[in-house]
Structure 1
């Protein structure tokens, strides 16, 4: 976690220590939820190790996985965290996941007391926006094979741990299409 926050380029070691002092560790077993639809999200977590998926449920009850989350990133239900309203999303562990958790109120205290944390928050929000934009553009302009190949390149050690239905949903394709892609891309 220290390295992640150092990489933002605006925090001192003291700043990061201040966050560590208000954080705690949590293990999410496979299948457990960080946040569920309908809850107000009041926590942010750093993923030390594990795999999570963010998904929502459509009006006809289908689960749509829109994000896969891996080691060394921050997770939260951002719109709920910002607005204080119940989230429409679920964040669920796909494997045992080790988290470092800190409360929204503690993070806000750091931001209000330290301009470095204010800058770090700005950078983090900008990164989230750019990742969301890239995801939307990828879904609209890249072929499913390109999206799958990118995931294989970026997270090869996790692909086999993600259930097929979640991976297909994330890629915006059917399970059958994913099976075909896997056959075509296997050496």
Structure 2
């Protein structure tokens, strides 16, 4: 629970009573490797906080190819907040890359926090903005870089994640084939 509190306190002030309320709204979810936290076409019903493990966000393009769009590691929220708020089906899958342990909030409990804790909605807005900045920082440089540079920067910027992700997922995220990624890794060593 301390990890969640540390995360939340980056975005605003919470007193002990509010922290206790937040803790009372969580349950623990153990999600085995390859299981889905959310499937495309389903409406999100939970917000998770990843304590252990790595998850990926993926979709299928119009050719039927599976594309990994992003990765989420420890001390980050896992949620389709737009879908949760507006009851919209998710266009993407959220899948456990490794065995994962999460703190889970139901939609109802998440909404209760917004109605009970003054400033909660602002904190969620700040969390969302931080997530978007991190995503842009990860994805934006990839547009202009060659595959080797994209791989090297991913390894440099996310060393804790790199050895935990199957090469097929990493290749998809980098926008290259798995054989190209294997060649790049061989040439770098």
Give how far 1:40 is off. 0.1
Equivalent residue, structure 1, for 2:37: 34
**Which deviates further from its counterpart, 156-165 or 90-99?**
156-165
Q: Which runs of 5+ in 1 are unaligned?
A: none
Deviations 1:8-56 (A, max 9, x none): 2433333232111111001001111100111000211000000111100
Confirm or deny: 8 A CA contact 1:6 1:12 kept in the other structure. no
Separation of aligned partners in 2, 1:184 and 1:62: 27
- Secondary structure of the 1:60 match is coil
Size of the aligned set, in residue pairs, is 186
- Secondary structure of the 1:34 match is strand
Find 2:145's aligned residue among 136, 142, 155: 142
1:130 equivalent to 2:133? Answer yes
Equivalent residue, structure 2, for 1:107: 110
Confirm or deny: 8 A CA contact 1:51 1:93 kept in the other structure. yes
- Secondary structure of the 1:48 match is strand
Find 1:159's aligned residue among 158, 162, 175: 162
Separation of aligned partners in 2, 1:149 and 1:12: 42
**1:46-125 superposed matches below 5 A:** 46-125=49-128
Separation of aligned partners in 1, 2:81 and 2:117: 21
1:45 equivalent to 2:48? Answer yes
Q: Which runs of 5+ in 2 are unaligned?
A: none
Separation of aligned partners in 2, 1:128 and 1:87: 18
**Which deviates further from its counterpart, 83-92 or 126-135?**
126-135
Q: TM-score, normalised by structure 2?
A: 0.89
**Which deviates further from its counterpart, 138-147 or 61-70?**
138-147
**Which deviates further from its counterpart, 38-47 or 171-180?**
171-180
